């Protein structure tokens, strides 16, 4: 169990949470939610001991597993060593022991220290550490021949599994996971869901994946109103309960304000008359009923609406024997298909299977979006009549010019647009007031994504190519994107690992595997039923 007592954290005038007391109990799986900037990662660092609270106390178990968000921090190390590092005390003892043994001559003090270190290694099962780590890696689908490799040689999904093995090494009593689904394809996300359902300790996870939270969590710890409130159930259960609680409080306050107004009217009419005792009693009643100001929510909800300047023709896109590979390895082989106006196609498959490559192939003959040096090996793709393309690249931060304000950058895509229209679009995506003057160099990943949505709303294309648009977005923005895509009347090609987005937006599935693309004309639920792909 992890216990938090009267913990407060603030940065300048911004209060993240104030006097928070809560417990995380073994056997329960908690989702830690809240908008970007609410303090989720800060709170996770308090729980792990990486940061001390400005006020209050955190009590944690001796063995705590932590999944690191930085997948590149261990690139120089062997995979097996990365896992063993999960037991910090053991790893420190092993490193110090090796340093002493590497000396040319040992002193008496060295000998005494070695005895102490060997005791620590024995207590922490250090003599079987590598074999224990290997068993854990095998269970997480990392083959033996990868164990001696450097972490830099692994793909993103494999790195996450190794770092999960690191977090689990030493049988922790509690597990802290910060964005574990980042860089995972849908198959790996589903595997992780099943794995976490078997964990018996206290699990606390930060995620912006609504389906993942609903599938894994027994409780949601929500950071808002400068506190943390724990709700039973998954994310959707929390949203419903939170809305009901807020509505009840606001209704109660409205009734109290109405009553106060009536009492103040009586006081104003009779304060100079003969009813002084009644006036006094009503003044006391006003003091008793005085509304306590509700803590302000830090949730901000953007508004996304994709319109079209004009519709496209009926046949929007045709692939003709499209082929593309890298270094002699085919990624896409002889793919042919037609896409009709209004279809929403979800591109699914493992990382590296060719989804982004297909989008780049589509853009090879679109000058404003073509990647320099990218060529198609065979066949091609033809755009239909009046196709106007809006593109959200996977590297969205890198696609924004540096050294100008966000308003200046956005205005370049429609120089005739009025400044009021530009400000209005930016405001819809939470760049209000002075935020519109923010320099593009200072944008976070989430802000860059919201700015590109502004560009797409300004340009009003009739085709949207979206490559991992939910990366770096908080749940409120993902939900807004989901609704906007469902309402959009144009054509969509969407690469995402967000299962709710695939399930609720897609009308057609392209599944990539070993160079082949399976084309299923129907939504995700029907695809799963037709292919028996429940384990994917």
Q: What is the DSSP string of 24-65?
A: E-TT-EEEEE--TTSSHHHHHHHHHTSS--SEEEEE--SSEE
Q: Give all strands of the β-sheet with 378-383 in edge-to-edge order.
A: 329-340, 315-326, 378-383
Decide if pLDDT at 220 tops 50: yes
Cα dist. 307→82, 213, 502 in Å? 48, 31, 21
Beta bridge partners of 227: 224
Per the listing, tokens 């990647």 go with 371
Residue-wise pLDDT tens digits, 151-187:
998 877 788 889 888 988 878 889 999 888 877 778 8
Q: Which helix (H) or strand (E) is 321 found in, with range?
A: strand 315-326
Confirm if 133 and 80 have CB atoms less than 8 A apart. yes
Pairing of strands 2-11, 55-59: antiparallel
CA angle 68/482/195 to nearest 5° reads: 35
CA distance linking residue 361 with residue 366, whole number of Å? 10
Listed in sequence order, the DSSP H helices in 154-234 are 156-168, 186-196, 210-216
Task: Return the percentage of the chain with pLDDT > 90, whole number.
Answer: 51
Provide the pLDDT for residue 258. 83
CA distance linking residue 476 with residue 469, whole number of Å? 14
Residue-wise pLDDT tens digits, 46-94:
999 989 999 999 999 988 888 876 777 899 999 999 999 988 889 999 9
Q: DSSP 3-state assignment of 114?
A: helix
Residues 6 or more apart whose Cβ sits within 8 Å of residue 160: 67, 71, 180, 182, 183, 184, 188, 192
Task: Return the percentage of the chain with pLDDT > 70, whole number.
Answer: 96
> Exposure string (b/e) for 481-499, b if CB count within 10 Å is 16 or more?
bbebbeebebbbbbbbbbb
Provide the pLDDT for residue 294. 55
Residue-wise pLDDT tens digits, 467-478:
999 988 888 899
Cα dist. 8→76, 182, 390, 510 in Å? 37, 29, 44, 48
The architecture in CATH of the region 315-531 reads 3-Layer(aba) Sandwich (3.40)
CA torsion sign for 401, 402, 406, 408 is negative
Please state the domain extents for the chain. 2-238, 315-531
Provide the pLDDT for residue 72. 79
Return the structure tokens found at 141. 């689908």
| Residue 377 DSSP label | S
Confirm if 227 and 297 have CB atoms less than 8 A apart. no
Provide the pLDDT for residue 506. 95
Provide the pLDDT for residue 353. 86
Name which of 18, 530, 374, 523 is nearest 225 in CA terms.
Answer: 18
pLDDT band at 522, cuts 50/70/90? very high
CA distance linking residue 301 with residue 430, whole number of Å? 8
Residue 474 exposed, middle or buried by CB count within 10 Å (0-12, 13-18, 19+): buried
Return the structure tokens found at 384. 């239909």
Q: How many helices (H) and strands (E) does the chain have?
A: 17, 18
Residue-wise pLDDT tens digits, 362-416:
999 888 898 888 999 999 999 999 999 999 998 888 889 999 999 999 999 999 9
The architecture in CATH of the region 2-238 reads 3-Layer(aba) Sandwich (3.40)
2-238 against 315-531: fold identical? yes
CA distance linking residue 187 with residue 536, whole number of Å? 5
Decide if pLDDT at 288 tops 80: no
Residue-wise pLDDT tens digits, 326-366:
888 889 999 999 999 999 999 998 888 899 999 999 999 88
Q: DSSP 3-state assignment of 348?
A: strand
């Amino acid at each position: 169990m992890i216990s938090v007592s009267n913990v407060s954290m603030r940065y300048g005038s911004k209060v993240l949470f104030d006097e928070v007391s809560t417990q995380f109990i073994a056997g329960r799986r908690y989702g830690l939610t809240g908008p970007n900037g609410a303090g989720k990662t800060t709170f996770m660092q308090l729980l792990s001991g990486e940061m001390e609270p400005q006020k209050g106390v955190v009590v944690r178990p001796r063995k705590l597993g932590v999944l690191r968000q930085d997948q590149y921090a261990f690139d120089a190390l062997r995979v097996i060593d990365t896992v063993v590092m999960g037991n910090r005390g053991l790893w420190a003892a092993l490193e110090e022991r090796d340093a002493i043994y590497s000396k040319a001559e040992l002193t008496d003090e060295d000998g005494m220290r070695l005895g102490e270190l060997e005791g620590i290694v024995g207590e922490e099962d250090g003599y079987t550490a590598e074999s224990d780590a290997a068993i854990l890696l095998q269970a997480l689908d990392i083959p033996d021949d990868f164990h001696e490799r450097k972490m830099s040689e692994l793909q993103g999904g494999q790195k996450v599994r190794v770092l999960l093995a690191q977090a689990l090494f030493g049988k922790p009593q509690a597990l802290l996971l910060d964005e574990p689904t980042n860089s995972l394809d849908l198959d790996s996300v589903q595997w992780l869901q099943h794995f976490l359902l078997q964990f018996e300790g206290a699990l606390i996870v930060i995620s912006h994946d609504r389906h993942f939270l609903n599938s894994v969590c027994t409780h949601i710890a929500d950071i808002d109103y400068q506190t943390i409130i724990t709700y039973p159930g998954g994310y959707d259960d929390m949203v419903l309960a939170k809305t009901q609680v807020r509505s009840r409080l606001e209704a109660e306050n409205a009734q109290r304000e109405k009553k106060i107004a009536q009492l103040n009217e009586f006081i104003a009419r009779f304060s100079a008359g003969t009813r002084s005792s009644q006036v006094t009693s009503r003044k006391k009643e006003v003091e008793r009923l005085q509304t306590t100001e509700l803590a302000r929510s830090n949730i901000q909800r953007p508004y996304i609406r994709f319109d079209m300047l004009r519709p496209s023709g009926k046949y929007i896109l045709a692939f003709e024997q499209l082929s593309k590979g890298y270094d002699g390895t085919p990624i896409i082989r002889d793919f042919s298909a037609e896409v009709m106006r209004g279809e929403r196609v979800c591109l699914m498959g493992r990382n590296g299977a060719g989804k982004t490559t297909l989008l780049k192939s589509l853009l090879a003959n679109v000058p404003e979006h073509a990647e320099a040096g990218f060529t198609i090996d065979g066949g091609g793709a033809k755009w239909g009549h009046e196709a106007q393309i809006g593109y959200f690249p996977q590297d969205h931060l890198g696609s924004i010019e540096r050294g100008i304000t966000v308003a200046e950058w956005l205005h370049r895509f429609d120089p005739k647009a009025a400044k009021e229209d530009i400000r209005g679009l930016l405001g819809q995506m939470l760049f209000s007031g002075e935020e519109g003057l923010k320099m593009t160099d200072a944008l976070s990943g989430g802000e860059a994504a919201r700015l590109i949505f502004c560009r797409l709303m300004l340009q009003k294309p009739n085709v949207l190519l979206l490559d991992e648009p939910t990366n770096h977005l908080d749940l409120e923005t993902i939900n807004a994107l989901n609704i906007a895509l469902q309402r959009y009347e144009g054509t969509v090609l969407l690469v995402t690992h967000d299962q709710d987005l695939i399930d609720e937006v897609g009308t057609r599935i392209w599944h990539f595997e070993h160079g082949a693309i399976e084309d299923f004309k129907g939504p995700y639920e029907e695809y799963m039923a037709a292919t028996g792909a429940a384990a994917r």
